[in-house]
Amino acid sequence: MLVWGKKWGWMELAGAAFAVGIVLAAILKMEFLLRIWKHYTSYADAELWVDITVLQAAVHGGAVCLDGSPPAYHWHPGTGSGSRNWIVFLEGGAWCSDHASCAQRARTSFGSSDLMDRQTLFLGILSNSAQENPDFYNWNRVKVKYCDGASFAGNVNTTVTVAFDSDSQQALGLMYRGEKIWKAVVSDLLSKGMSNAEMALLGGCSAGGLAATLHCSSFKELLPRTTYVKCVSDGGYFLDAKDIAGNFSFRSFFKDVVDIHNARENLPEACVAEHDAQCFFPQYVAPHIHVPIFFVNPAYDVWQIQNIFIPDAADPDRKWTTCKYNPYVCSQDQLSVLQGFRTEFLKAVEYVRGVDQSGLFIDSCFSHCQLEGLTWNTNTIGNKTIREAFGDWYFARGGSSWKSIDCPYPCNPTCIKWTSWRH
Q: What is the pLDDT of residues 362-418, one digit of tens each?
A: 999 999 999 999 999 999 999 999 999 999 999 999 866 789 999 999 999 999 886
Which residue out of 233, 368, 404, 406 is catalytically annotated? 368
Q: Which of the two residues, 6 and 259, has the higher pLDDT score?
A: 259
DSSP 95: -
* 22 pLDDT more than 70: no
Res. 359 pLDDT band, cuts 50 70 90: very high
* 255 pLDDT more than 50: yes
Q: What pLDDT score does 164 carry?
A: 57
Q: What pLDDT score does 401 carry?
A: 73
Listed range (5-19, 98-112, 261-275, 408-422) with the worst mean pLDDT: 5-19
206 is catalytic: yes
- Which amino acid, one-letter code, is at 193? G
Q: What pLDDT score does 31 carry?
A: 42
Q: What pLDDT score does 39 carry?
A: 47
76 is catalytic: no
H-run or E-run covering 12: helix 10-45
**Cα separation, 251 vs 309, whole angstroms:** 12
* 2 pLDDT more than 90: no
Number of other residues whose CB lies within 10 A of the CB of residue 41: 10
**348-376 b/e with 16+ CB inside 10 Å = b?**
bbeebeeeeebbbbbbbbbbbbbbbbbbb
Q: What pLDDT score does 417 carry?
A: 82
Q: What is the pLDDT of residues 77-87, one digit of tens each?
A: 999 999 999 99
- Whether the Cβ atoms of residue 338 and residue 344 lie closer than 8 Å to each other: no
Terminal C-alpha separation, the chain: 54
* 27 pLDDT more than 90: no
Q: What pLDDT score does 403 carry?
A: 95
Res. 46 pLDDT band, cuts 50 70 90: low
**Cα separation, 282 vs 293, whole angstroms:** 11
Which residue out of 206, 217, 358, 404 is catalytically annotated? 206
C-alpha triplet 265, 268, 273: angle, nearest 5°:
90
- Whether the Cβ atoms of residue 208 and residue 151 lie closer than 8 Å to each other: yes
Tell me the pLDDT of the chain averaged across its residues: 89
- Whether the Cβ atoms of residue 332 and residue 267 lie closer than 8 Å to each other: no
Positive or negative: CA dihedral 236, 241, 247, 252: positive
Which residue out of 67, 135, 148, 301 is catalytically annotated? 301
pTM beyond 0.85: the answer is yes
Q: What pLDDT score does 37 carry?
A: 42
- Domain at 49-405: CATH code: 3.40.50
Residues with Cβ < 8 Å from 34, sequence gap 6 or more? Answer: none
Phi, psi of 377 (to 5 degrees): -115, 5
* 286 pLDDT more than 50: yes
Q: What pLDDT score does 163 carry?
A: 67
Q: What pLDDT score does 419 carry?
A: 57
Res. 165 pLDDT band, cuts 50 70 90: low
Q: What pLDDT score does 26 carry?
A: 38
* 5 pLDDT more than 50: no
288 is catalytic: no
Q: What is the pLDDT of residues 168-178, one digit of tens each?
A: 667 789 999 99
Q: What pLDDT score does 167 carry?
A: 64
Q: C-alpha distances in angstroms, 231 versus 202, 312, 404? A: 5, 33, 17
Number of other residues whose CB lies within 10 A of the CB of residue 314: 16
Res. 33 pLDDT band, cuts 50 70 90: very low
* 23 pLDDT more than 90: no
* 123 pLDDT more than 80: yes
